[in-house]
Amino acid sequence: MLTIVVLLLAGCSGGGDKRPAATGTARPPDTVGLTTTVAPPTTTTTIPVPTYVVATAQVARVGVYPEPGAAAPARTFAHPNPTYGSPRVFLVKEEQGDWLNVYLPARPNGSTGWIKASDVSLSEHHYRIEVALSEHKMMVWEKNDVVYEAPVGVGQAATPSTQGIFYTTELIAVVPDQRAAYGPFAYGLSAYSEVLYDFGGGDGQMGIHGTGDPSSVGRSVSNGCIRMTNDAITHLRGLLPIGVPVEIRA
């Protein structure tokens, strides 16, 4: 779902050298919602195809439990997202009967918890994103193939882009008066800055977005967010669903 809003992604609009602000080489772990095809014991080998499962809320508040069968939730997440009005989605890490272990769009980074399968609907896709910070490069994978590559701007030394396994939480159409900073579209991430906890009215959430300054792409200039050219972010908008795993690595 595309939501037109004022962006509150923290740390995204900083750029250039004028303003210091807070910032496994291999594929992302195939344990993230992976369905594996096991090759039979013959001379032919089948390469496992990663399948990622996305849970979309079907209730007004999704309870997150510390373990399957727990009596009460440890926290809840509103649906839709009160910040952007977009559907609440979780990336599924593990399915266990009527319970789902999911990645949470919250601090601390990499948090997981258990939700009830009855509170969500499930969908599948085969995409993932890999961001190599030192190379200033993004690679988009579909199944076992790289289907898109693009240069990116990343966090500067004082405000590094947070590393880890995250996922896209929403797709935002940027309002016209903010497109110079964010470009036409932005993906919210489940990642949060480890330096900025309050920025521009937001809470330090990171994102992937375009920019009105293409010269900043390919450099370490942002307050933590991942920048792309406007053509690149527009291409991603037409290619990817919500709930795509994003590995940000050195």
Q: Is position 12 annotated as part of the catalytic site?
A: no
Beta bridge partners of 76: 63
Q: What are residue 188's phi and psi, to 5 degrees?
A: -75, 145
245 vs 140: CA distance, rounded Å: 10
In whole angstroms, how large is the CA radius of gyration of the chain?
18
Confidence of residue 100 (pLDDT cuts 50, 70, 90): very high
The DSSP-derived string for 133-159 is: TTTTEEEEEETTEEEEEEE-BEE-TTS
pLDDT digits (tens, 9 = 90+) for 42-68: 566 788 999 999 999 999 999 999 999
Q: Does 52-125 match 2-27+126-249 at the fold level? A: no
74 vs 44: CA distance, rounded Å: 47
pLDDT digits (tens, 9 = 90+) for 104-126: 999 999 999 999 999 999 999 99
- Nearest by Cα to 168 from 85, 236, 230, 223: 236
Choice among 79, 125, 136, 209 that is catalytic: 209
Choice among 12, 125, 136, 225 that is catalytic: 225
Higher pLDDT, 27 or 215: 215
- Whether the predicted pLDDT of 14 surpasses 70: no
193 vs 148: CA distance, rounded Å: 26
- Whether the predicted pLDDT of 17 surpasses 70: no
Cis amide leading into 108 (omega within 30): yes
Spelled out in words, what is the top-level CATH class assigned to the domain 2-27+126-249? mainly beta
Cα within 13 Å of Cα(185), Cβ side: 18
pLDDT digits (tens, 9 = 90+) for 182-240: 999 999 999 999 998 766 667 899 999 999 999 999 999 999 999 999 999 999 999 99
Report domain extents, the chain. 2-27+126-249, 52-125
Spelled out in words, what is the top-level CATH class assigned to the domain 52-125? mainly beta
pLDDT digits (tens, 9 = 90+) for 133-149: 999 999 999 999 999 99
- Could you tell me the end-to-end alpha-carbon distance of the chain, in angstroms, rounded to an integer? 31
- CB-CB contact of 222 with 156 (8 Å): yes
